[in-house]
Structure 1
Amino acid sequence: ITVRDHGDGYPAYLLAHGPQRFRTEGGTKGHGLGLTIALGQAEVLGARLEFTNPPDGGALARLTLPQQP
């Protein structure tokens, strides 16, 4: 499952270290709590959640669900 927007993209700290609860950058709204919850739920399901900034701009979140045995 892929979700993409065409805004400013994820901040560098999020790409380097993943989402962090309640972290904000320069007075902007935080990215941490909602993405931290999503990451935790993905781990519970055995899924992988990745965050990237595509070369042509925006932000992309990709959820890869586990294969059924």
Structure 2
Amino acid sequence: MTRPIRDLDVPLPEVELQIAELRAHAVKHLADRGQTPTGAHWDQWHEFLDIDPDLRGRDYTPQPKGAK
């Protein structure tokens, strides 16, 4: 079951930083092999890390409890 970002024990800026670091590491790993990431790469990584593949542009503003 997916938990909303606001319910995580880690502050959102820390989550965003960790995701950015993982992404940079993945890009470097491929670059070292002479490759660039494809959409399939991102999908596989996000599935492996169990994170939403469409984080970009989402609104993580805290919502009142019970709001959807």
TM-score w.r.t. length of structure 2: 0.33
Identify the structure with the greater strand proportion.
1
TM-score w.r.t. length of structure 1: 0.32
Q: In terms of Rg, which structure is larger?
A: 2
Structure with higher RCO (Cα < 8 A, 6+ apart): 1
Identify the structure with the greater helix proportion.
2
